[in-house]
Amino acid sequence: MSSLTPRLEIQNITRVFGGRTVVDDVSLKVMPGQVTCLLGPSGCGKSTTLRVIAGVDMQDSGNIFIDGNLVCDTVFRVPPERRSVGLMFQDFALFPHLSVAENVAFGLSGSRAEKRRRVEQLLERVDLLGHIDDYPHQLSGGEQQRVALVRALAPRPKIMLMDEPFSGLDNRLRDEIRDDTLSVLKEEGAAVLLVTHEPDEAMRMADEIALMRHGKIVQQGAPYNIYNAPVDRAAAAFFSDIN
Ligand code: ADP
Ligand code: MG
């Protein structure tokens, strides 16, 4: 596998609901170790795109490749659990009846000792080793978020799909958790597709931004370039409330 092979590549993905094209011919690549943000206003089709990639919904046309292997076209479909994707959504709750350790170990295979090592390594990385035997209700919102992050990362997914994962947190916490999350993702070398409607979040976290509007990607590039040279008035206006 060449290091230039994208971790994720989607080609010409289209999804139609009741005659309305919600995702319209979207193509995108996420390279190893990179955070790509799918950024756009509410309702533009971001979550639908992510659900199709995860395999919980199916496109009407287009292809999806993970590590260069076809996982889905219109006739062939690898099920979600075999795509090696990590999922993190705003409302992706922890299992309330399982401890922190059991939550993080949930998707892991291997011996008991191997699993324990991986769980401890990840919890240490997010400063939660002291909470390993706690239950979710004993943790703060920010702590639960960090457990959800390492739970998704534990099986070393080829690509992490994150859908507005910080929008349930209050402002003060959000900045802190974003920074923590970014450093953990970078340390793990994860390839990430992060969906957000907040330009400042994309500017802060992305190596690459894909700007989406009405189901289409209207501009793609490094955050600095998109911010400085928005493709049109609407893109400029969208970025204008960043401070
Ligand atoms: P975003 O995540 O950017 O806010 P979504 O992908 O959730 O946007 O939704 C895009 C559009 O598709 C919205 O108008 C939404 O109402 C519509 N939509 C999403 N899922 C469905 C569905 N299962 N059936 C019908 N319409 C849907
Ligand atoms: Mg959404």
With the most atoms of ligand 1 within 8 angstroms of its CB, the residue from 22, 38, 51, 195 to mutate is 22
Question: Range with the lowest mean pLDDT among 32-41, 84-93, 226-235?
Answer: 84-93
pLDDT for 46: 98
Residues 6+ apart with CB under 8 A from 31: 4, 6, 7, 191, 208
For residue 42, give the ligand nearest its CA.
1
pLDDT for 24: 98
Residues 6+ apart with CB under 8 A from 43: none
Locus of tokens 């292997």:
69
pLDDT for 18-41, tens place per residue? Answer: 999 999 999 999 999 999 999 999
Q: What is the mean pLDDT of the chain?
A: 93
**Is the ipTM reported for this complex over the cut 0.85?**
yes
Provide the 10 A C-beta neighbour count for residue 75: 5
In this prediction, residue 243 has a pLDDT band, given cuts at 50, 70 and 90, of low
> 168 CA distance to ligand 1 centroid (A)?
19
pLDDT for 239: 87
For residue 48, give the ligand nearest its CA.
1
In this prediction, residue 92 has a pLDDT band, given cuts at 50, 70 and 90, of low
pLDDT for 144-201, tens place per residue? Answer: 989 999 999 999 999 999 999 988 788 888 888 888 899 999 988 899 999 999 999 9
pLDDT for 117-132, tens place per residue? Answer: 999 999 999 999 999 9
* Residue 177: both structure tokens together: 């958790």
Kindly report the pTM of this predicted structure.
0.93
What mean pLDDT comes out for the span 136-141?
Answer: 93
